[in-house]
Chains A and B, each alone.
Chain A
Amino acid sequence: MHRNDFVRQLSSPGGDRRPSRRMHIDIPLLIILLILCGIGLAVLYSASGENLFYVERQATFMVIGLISMIFMAQFPPRGWERYAMLIYFGGLLALIAVLFVGVGAKGAQRWLDLGVTRFQPSELMKIAVPMMLSAFLSKRYLPPSFKHVCFALVATAIPVFLIARQPDLGTSLIVFSSGFFALFLAGLGKRYLVTTALLAMAALPTLWFYVMRDYQKQRVLTLLSPEQDKLGAGWNIMQSTTAIGSGGWSGKGWTEGTQSQLNFLPESHTDFIIAVLAEEFGLVGVLTMLTLYLLLIGRCLVIALNAQSMFGRLMAGTMGLSFFVYIFVNMGMVSGILPVVGAPLPFISYGGTAIVTLFLGFGILMAISTEQKRI
């Protein structure tokens, strides 16, 4: 399909005349997103204890997200490229502001209270960091020089550190990986790769002793031996693996998952929602879900491959790969192979801000996808 698009585009330099192109909508992306949203609402209904309140709120955010996505798609990528640095520094300022005047819950300080609504700068950085790096690197000769690599690393490290301090390890991990992907896709040299890996390893003790809080450390320790602490941090993992494992091939059926319905499963409608899906729809459900995600990521990579500018290529590729990090971290932590960090499952977990942010990202991807060939 994409190959045809590509061919057709070349053959008609005057631009694609199809309505979806004119409206800057990438049809395959849209279809996959709609399917994911549909599944997400169904699972959420079950995970929330058949509570329509959550489902309605989530659906509202999805509609807002879809509209925002299409709105974002109308801006040409060149515009994003131009203002990327501005957006990045705006986000950085907001993150610093959170340090001082942020509000939060459960011991985490993540939001800025704007009066009318709350704003979570770390969510913005999920887009702002890859966008700024893509814009920065695409203007340079690739592969990037030492100086540029250093800039990119620092530009990534500052928000990662700030977000980790909030504390929000999940988001900081996403931001970090988006910075890394941008560099990698830009052709980061092998010796830099090794250096980056070493730096990352060197950063681990720093993280452990200076950034991570006790409960976060506990989660890492728990991953190593969940049975040691049945009533503490290990509880979540034990319950979620039990939920997943008891699902079997085809699951217990929609809204029939006892682990989640009986509240054994903590955070069942947010971070741990994949366990509900796994319990109620079994391995078949999990693999279907995973396949849909891979199709979505695949489409992102195709868009990246076909993008008209290096900015578009880097941006689309980085976004797609970051999206995979979401999936991998979430599904990994819930199934007990990664430590528990706060990371929602895209389009399935309950949470308005995350949904809207995701759609905004895909809006930019659609803009890249439908960009007219630069003459």
Chain B
Amino acid sequence: MMQDRAFSDPARERLLFAQRLFITAVITLVLSGLLAARYFNLQISRHDDFATQSNNNRVLVRPLAPSRGLIYASDGELIADNRPSFNLTIVPERSANLEQLLSDLSALITVSERDIENFRKRLKQRRPYEQTTLKFNLSEEERATLAVHGHRLLGAETSARLNRYYPEAELFANVVGYVGRINEAESETIDKVQYSGTDSIGKNGLEKFYEDRLLGQVGSEQVETNALGRVMRVLEQNAPIAGDDLTLFIDSELQRVGLDAFNGERGALIAIDVKTGGILAMVSAPSYDPNLFVGGISQKDYDRLLYDKSRPLFDRTIRGQYPPGSTVKPLFGLIALQKGTVTTNFKIQDNGFFYFKGVERPWRDHNFARGGHGSGVDLAKAIIESCDVYFYELGVRTGIDMLSTYGNQFGLGVLTGIDLPGERNGIMPSRAWKQGERRQSWYNGDTINVSIGQGYMLATPLQLAVMTARIASRGEVQTPRLVKAINGVDQVPAEEPPTIKMDKQYWDYVHQAMVDVVHSPRGTAKGISRDLDYKIAGKTGTAQVISVGAKDKYDSTKIDKEQWDHALFVAFAPADDPKIAIGLIVENGEHGSSSAAPIARAVFDAYMDSNAASPSESE
């Protein structure tokens, strides 16, 4: 080679060049063959795998949440509505770094520790590529912020969904209840497929009881997405089926009048349509705003409701159990008449105390402390003036077995079967009950207490309303119910309601006595009879919160209001053709006559007004 440098040899150089060119051409072809083989391997040998992978890549199946059934009052007012709300959702698979994304989001909008904590919980339950909500109910401002920065928030998206909304806020809270976020316990029992597009579930009230009907059928859609998770087009859609709409018996006007009439007092009122058992009004006062729970209630709001002394979250209508007091007197009188343990002619002398043989301590008459109701007290007078001593005697004569058996038939001590969750059954004491609960025998003294609705006896306001409705309808055993129609189809009980057999004369007698409670000058509820152009039949009651000894005098000025007696009132109207029956209690309201009865009057008036306006509705 060295000597070659002395002179140039173009021919040799060209030959060398041609050789080298040939070598590179061969290498080029070999490498091209390698490329071709690689593409053959991918495109032909492994085509099936990649074709499947590609298909999976682009097609996502997403659940389509059905819209929840609406709930209407009988007059058409919307009680539970759906409203679009915007949530911040995350698909972790789409984000490069979830932690980074969360901190980026926290920098842009307020994301609380609790939001993130709940998000992580939800994250564990979700399926791959499913949107998981980080924050609910984004404000207008937050949505705008997220839209502006959207390009660098891969994996995060704002998504619209329908949220429950209760337009009347606290008016129907105890009846309708509310929906809330599905919690861990619930997520283990629900049908995961049905709830795949939904994050709420009925927690309380009708929302819970009718959850299956309200939810609807989940739909699905196959969508093509890009790698950023954005939907490019919908391939196939299987539309969700909206939940069933419920129409209640409740009349929103009656409900409003009822709640307003409590005027800050605590208590409950139930108005029942006597003919059907339909609930016309169902008030638990004070109430709360169920909308607070929909988006997940804040701890502060929840504590405020939970520790409120007036217990707004407590549904007194079906869970409050109170001694029914004198409100059971018409029923017990009716039972005694039917069983012949007293007659309409039977009279007693009432000196204000009742002595039972073998018991030294007397039972006192709570209503007339001084000297009692005097002589010639018959059943009618005992009901009208609410004479306890007469009923002590009546109770002893009739016996607990009879009272409890019939009491159960009139709805006392048993679940009424209303279409709401969480109903309490109260206590209609009996020998069996006492033996079972207290491991004690029954004493006559127990019967004496029960005969005026005290002692072991407890009833929910709903049970009192049911009892009153059954008295009003002369023994028709209607099950109380809230839902009148589902999707516009009237719900009719499968079988004719059974009837409690009583002689007509006794029904008449008791009805008349109840009318006189309101309309006679000596009636305990005469205060509400002013300007009445229809007849109300009622009975007041007082339930002791603390026991007062026979020698002591109950004096409201000496005790805290929380320990004042509960005031009760049961009534139906119009007396000659009963349409509406009411049971109500005002906690610590002292006297049924002064605090409870006027509330019933207001509701009756509203009912009579609206029924007079549209007489066609009353058949």
Q: Mask for B48-87, Cβ within 8 A of A = 1, else 0?
A: 0111011101100000000000000000000000000000
Contact between B51 and A248, CB atoms less than 8 A apart: yes
A28 to B47, CA, bound (A): 36
Question: Given B5, B225, B232, which contacts A145 in the complex, CB threshold below 8 Å?
Answer: B5
B24 at the interface (CB under 8 A from A): yes
Question: Given B21, B46, B54, which contacts A301 in the complex, CB threshold below 8 Å?
Answer: B21
Contact between B47 and A262, CB atoms less than 8 A apart: no
A120 at the interface (CB under 8 A from B): no
Contact between B226 and A242, CB atoms less than 8 A apart: no
Given contacts A142-B16, A187-B13, A264-B57, contact A246 B51 (CB under 8 A): yes
Chain A residue nearest to B43 in the complex (CB) = A283
Contact between A331 and B28, CB atoms less than 8 A apart: no
Question: Given B10, B43, B57, B93, which contacts A244 in the complex, CB threshold below 8 Å?
Answer: B43
A239 at the interface (CB under 8 A from B): yes
> What would 14 A/B residue contacts be, using CB atoms closer than 8 Å?
A141-B5, A241-B42, A242-B54, A246-B55, A249-B43, A262-B225, A264-B57, A286-B36, A294-B32, A298-B25, A305-B21, A310-B10, A314-B17, A331-B35
Q: Mask for B1-26, Cβ within 8 A of A = 1, else 0?
A: 10011001010011011101100110
A66 at the interface (CB under 8 A from B): no
A64 at the interface (CB under 8 A from B): no
A167 at the interface (CB under 8 A from B): no
A232 at the interface (CB under 8 A from B): yes
* Chain B hits for A305, CB < 8 A: 18, 21
Q: Name the interface residues of B208-245: CB closer than 8 Å to any CB of A.
A: 224-228, 230, 232
Given contacts A231-B96, A283-B44, A294-B28, contact A246 B50 (CB under 8 A): yes
Q: Name the interface residues of A124-155: CB closer than 8 Å to any CB of B.
A: 141-143, 145
A287 to B39, CA, bound (A): 9
B108 at the interface (CB under 8 A from A): no
Q: Mask for A241-280, Cβ within 8 A of B = 1, else 0?
A: 1111111110000000011011111100000000000110
Chain A residue nearest to B50 in the complex (CB) = A245
A248 to B34, CA, bound (A): 18
Contact between B47 and A245, CB atoms less than 8 A apart: yes
With a 10 A CB-CB cut-off, give which of B14, B31, B32 has the most chain A CB atoms.
B32
B38 at the interface (CB under 8 A from A): yes
A104 at the interface (CB under 8 A from B): no
Question: Given B21, B34, B40, B232, which contacts A185 in the complex, CB threshold below 8 Å?
Answer: B21
B111 at the interface (CB under 8 A from A): no
Q: Mask for A153-184, Cβ within 8 A of B = 1, else 0?
A: 00000000000000000000000000001001
A80 to B545, CA, bound (A): 112
User: Chain B at the A interface: mostly helix, strand, loop or mixed?
Assistant: helix
Q: Name the interface residues of B65-121: CB closer than 8 Å to any CB of A.
A: 93, 96
Q: Name the interface residues of A57-101: CB closer than 8 Å to any CB of B.
A: none
Q: Mask for A310-345, Cβ within 8 A of B = 1, else 0?
A: 100110010001001001100110011100000000
How near does chain A come to B115, taking the closest CB pair, in angstroms?
A: 24
A283 to B49, CA, bound (A): 16
Chain B residues at the A interface, C-beta cutoff of 8 Å: 1, 4-5, 8, 10, 13-14, 16-18, 20-21, 24-25, 28-29, 31-32, 34-36, 38-40, 42-44, 46-47, 49-51, 53-55, 57-58, 93, 96, 224-228, 230, 232
Chain B residue nearest to A318 in the complex (CB) = B24
With a 10 A CB-CB cut-off, give which of A239, A243, A246, A286 has the most chain B CB atoms.
A246
Chain A residue nearest to B16 in the complex (CB) = A187
How near does chain A come to B511, taking the closest CB pair, in angstroms?
A: 77
How near does chain B come to A50, taking the closest CB pair, in angstroms?
A: 13
Contact between A247 and B43, CB atoms less than 8 A apart: yes
A58 to B159, CA, bound (A): 38
How near does chain A come to B499, taking the closest CB pair, in angstroms?
A: 69
A305 to B24, CA, bound (A): 13
A248 to B1, CA, bound (A): 53
Given contacts A290-B35, A297-B28, contact A310 B13 (CB under 8 A): yes
A223 at the interface (CB under 8 A from B): no
Contact between B21 and A304, CB atoms less than 8 A apart: yes
Contact between B39 and A335, CB atoms less than 8 A apart: yes
A87 to B228, CA, bound (A): 45
Given contacts A231-B96, A245-B43, A262-B227, contact A184 B54 (CB under 8 A): no
A252 to B230, CA, bound (A): 22
Contact between A313 and B17, CB atoms less than 8 A apart: yes
Contact between A242 and B58, CB atoms less than 8 A apart: no
Contact between A335 and B35, CB atoms less than 8 A apart: yes
Given contacts A185-B24, A262-B227, A290-B35, contact A245 B51 (CB under 8 A): yes
* Chain B hits for A141, CB < 8 A: 4-5, 8
Beyond known contacts A262-B224, A313-B14: 12 more, CB 8 A cutoff: A141-B8, A186-B17, A187-B17, A241-B50, A244-B43, A258-B55, A258-B57, A278-B42, A290-B36, A297-B28, A304-B17, A337-B38
How near does chain B come to A104, taking the closest CB pair, in angstroms?
A: 20
Chain A residue nearest to B49 in the complex (CB) = A245
Given contacts A245-B51, A258-B58, A317-B17, contact A286 B29 (CB under 8 A): no
How near does chain A come to B52, taking the closest CB pair, in angstroms?
A: 8
Contact between A259 and B58, CB atoms less than 8 A apart: yes
Question: Given B20, B35, B51, B58, which contacts A184 in the complex, CB threshold below 8 Å?
Answer: B20
Contact between B24 and A184, CB atoms less than 8 A apart: yes
* Chain A hits for B28, CB < 8 A: 294, 297, 321, 324
Chain B residue nearest to A314 in the complex (CB) = B17
A90 to B20, CA, bound (A): 30
* Chain A hits for B46, CB < 8 A: 245
How near does chain B come to A133, taking the closest CB pair, in angstroms?
A: 14
A247 to B47, CA, bound (A): 7
A232 to B97, CA, bound (A): 10
* Chain A hits for B4, CB < 8 A: 141
How near does chain A come to B240, taking the closest CB pair, in angstroms?
A: 25
A328 to B16, CA, bound (A): 26
How near does chain B come to A136, taking the closest CB pair, in angstroms?
A: 15
A90 to B10, CA, bound (A): 31
A202 to B98, CA, bound (A): 40
* Chain B hits for A317, CB < 8 A: 17, 20-21, 24
* Chain A hits for B47, CB < 8 A: 245-249
A331 to B55, CA, bound (A): 23
A226 at the interface (CB under 8 A from B): no
With a 10 A CB-CB cut-off, give which of B21, B55, B58 has the most chain A CB atoms.
B21
Given contacts A185-B24, A263-B228, contact A243 B39 (CB under 8 A): no
A346 at the interface (CB under 8 A from B): no
How near does chain A come to B326, taking the closest CB pair, in angstroms?
A: 74
The 9 A-B residue pairs with the shortest CB-CB distance, nearest first, are A245-B50, A263-B226, A246-B54, A245-B42, A264-B227, A187-B16, A283-B43, A246-B50, A258-B58
* Chain A hits for B40, CB < 8 A: 283
A227 to B227, CA, bound (A): 17
* Chain B hits for A185, CB < 8 A: 17, 20-21, 24
A282 at the interface (CB under 8 A from B): yes
* Chain B hits for A336, CB < 8 A: 38
* Chain B hits for A282, CB < 8 A: 43
